[in-house]
Structure 1
Amino acid sequence: MNPDTKTAAASNGFGGSASVRAATAGDAEAICRMRSAYVLSAPLADEWLRHGAADLAPRLTSTGDARAFVIDAPDGTLAACALGLVSPVLPAPSYPRGLSARVQLVATHPHHRRRGYARAVVSALLDRLVDEDVTLFELHTSPEAAPLYREFGFSGSAALMRMTRRSTSAPPSTATGSRSSPVPPEQHAQSLPPSVAFVCLYVTDEDDRPLGLHSVYSPSHPWHMIGGALDLGETPWAAAVRECREETGLTIAGPPRLLASVYGPPRDRRPYSTVQFVFDGGRLGEDQIARIVLAPDEHDEARFLPLEQWQELMPASDFARLRSVSEARRTGVAAYLDTWGTT
């Protein structure tokens, strides 16, 4: 028998027992579908299933950080699965090797429940991780599943059902705690599609010619407005003031005037959406323009050009954004775009 295959103490419904096996890269899509159908609060779209499978497959190889065990259903689909992700942490007495594992998901198909399959795949997963000297384990669970994990030595907060297992010798907790909501807040947060927030400043000279900064690192988007991503805990306007100071050496006073909201959908090599707040940075006089100092690790040139001349220097979606922002300043009506970055 393959050392990664073991007979689980779980009934297969026909008087026998089911075999638990280590998952391979070829199981990545099926595991992601189990997660989508039976773990997350809302099923994932096909695009996100493909992203998840493409990310998980190489991680299930011998050099990856994912460990998973599955039970096959008679029809070739998965009856149950358990997935863990290994990561390094700073060593401590309870985990001297500095290895942590998060039990990312445990799922059983409804047609195969109440046969001990979840217990079998979790047991196999924990055994494998212990063999690899992992001694710190974490997972999120529901109140209904908590007794199973307590049997494996997990304990934790009843408020969020965040449970930890610090070592294989840790005694199981007998505390029952209070019931939490069916979906813990942290698990719900993980089910939401990720996005990144950016800010931009639309700045012109006194002849209303937009300012563009030439990028030293982004050949696909060579000319930028002033701007960048929000730092943790930062408001959009505060980020705009900071980015202006960092990229040009100038300080803008406000007050904030929003010219456009720009949404960029997920796309190849960037599986998350973007949201941009474009503010009016005002018109610069000659003395202010003379004081512009570029950050050399970001931009190497600043130009003020008539709007139409920017069309030949940037991608179509970038110019559409610039044109909409210019029109918003002229009319006083904020623009909304939701296809940025797709062309």
Structure 2
Amino acid sequence: MHTDPTSPHGERRAAEKFLVRAAAPQDAAAIIQLRSAYILSTPLSAQWIRRCADELAVRLMPDGDARAFVIDSPTGGPVACALGLIHPVLAAPSYPHGLAARVQMVATHPEYRRRGYARAVVGKLVDHLADEHITLFELHTSAEAAPLYRELGFSGSPALMRMTRHSKCAVAAHDAQPEETWVPPEQYAQSLPKAVAFVCLYVTDEEDRPLQLHSVYSPSHPWHMIGGAMDLGERPWDAAVRECREETGMSVKGPPRLLATVYGQPRAQRPYR
């Protein structure tokens, strides 16, 4: 007798040919890859995949709160997974042990769908959690997958509404490194702290007396050294040579020798560094 593999009976028959096993910490990366590719609306970056895999690996330890069952491909590695997370709740008559489980994800690689894999891993997960005295379950499902969960004993309530509150800014772990993102040079330049740079020359006469210029616009500081503000894109030495030529008519030859640098914090009248 021929059995249609797309029918429920066909799926059960196909399900007899594969092995469902409990996931181990070393399966964490593959499980997160399935979640990223087939569950989330936006795939995770490589950094987030590593971060989630590291977290899940710890939670899949014997004393962790995660339970997962997977089916491997013939060449090895999970291609289907059901993951549940256990959490404490206030006890009630229908869940006297005060434990609940959320079915966090059920995913199957597209090449292995319609073979009963999802039914097998979810069924194994639910049975295992029941053995741990968990009788309160929570999951979110699509309309296509709802019949499967009803067959496994789940029921929906039209009174329930899923609501999600997102923070205004993403919260990162204290040890997480910021993701490297390329931005256009112009945009990056605008994000840099603003600064103003001045250069000056220390010039002496034949008797080693310093040369200063008399200012015509600063009565409180009438004497100053040769120099001025650097132009955009100008090198410090080039600016010093230009200022000297403009203020004294002298042409300075190199090589330059740096005598000192001075750094000033921004002030109210001068908001740039």
Under a length normalisation based on structure 2, what TM-score does the superposition of the two structures give? 0.57
Amino acid at match of 1:109: H
Provide the residue aligned with 2:190 in structure 1. none
Bigger Rg, structure 1 or 2: 2
Structure 2 residue aligned with 1:78: 78
How far has the Cα of 1:100 moved from its partner? 0.4
Alignment correspondent of 1:145: 145
Between the aligned partners of 2:177 and 2:12, the Cα distance in structure 1 is 40
Question: Residues 330, 59 of structure 1: CA spacing in aligned structure 2 closer, same or farther, 3 A cutoff?
Answer: farther
- Number of residue-to-residue matches in the alignment: 177
- For residue 10 of structure 1, report the CA deviation from its aligned partner: 5.7
Q: Find 2:14's aligned residue among 3, 11, 16.
A: 11
Please say if residues 10 and 117 of structure 1, whose CA atoms lie closer than 8 Å, have aligned partners that are also in contact: no
SS at match of 2:156: strand
Identity %: 56
Q: Distance in 2 between matches of 1:64 and 1:267?
A: 20
Equivalent residue letter for 1:63:
D
Q: Which residue of the partner structure matches residue 32 of structure 2?
A: 32
Say which SS state the counterpart of residue 92 (structure 2) adopts. Answer: coil
Q: What does residue 195 of structure 1 align with?
A: 170
Cα-to-partner distance string for 1:305-339 (whole Å, 9 max, x where unaligned): xxxxxxxxxxxxxxxxxx7xx67x76789xxxxxx
Write out aligned runs for 1:172-321 (5 A): 186=164, 195-196=170-171, 266=172, 269-270=175-176
CA contact (8 A) 1:84 1:102 kept: yes
Q: Is the 8 A contact 1:10 1:18 kept in 2?
A: no
Task: Find the counterpart in structure 2 of residue 236 from structure 1.
Answer: none
Matches of 2:157 and 2:269, distance apart in 1 = 55
Compute the displacement of 1:144 (Å).
1.1
Opposite residue 79 of structure 1, the aligned amino acid is: V
Give, in angstroms, the shift of residue 156 of structure 1: 2.3
Q: Deviation per CA, 1:141-171, whole angstroms, max 9, x where unpaired?
A: 1111111111122222458776xxxxxxxxx
CA 1:142–1:161: 2 relative to 1, 3 Å: farther
The residue aligned with 2:99 is 99
Q: CA deviation at 1:126?
A: 0.4
Which residue type is aligned with residue 107 of structure 1? A
**Structure 2 gaps, min length 5:** 1-10, 180-264
Could you tell me which residue of structure 1 aligns to residue 246 of structure 2? none
2:90 matched residue in structure 1? 90
The code of the aligned residue for 1:98 comes to G
1:64–1:90 distance in 2 versus 1, CA, 3 Å: same
2:43 pairs with 1:68 = no
TM-score (norm 1): 0.46
| Structure 2 residue identity aligned to 1:84 | G
Distance 1:155 1:62, change over 3 A: same
Aligned Cα root-mean-square deviation (Å): 3.1
Distance across 1 between alignment mates of 2:128 and 2:19: 16
**Does the Cα contact within 8 Å between 1:142 and 1:161 map onto a contact in 2?**
no
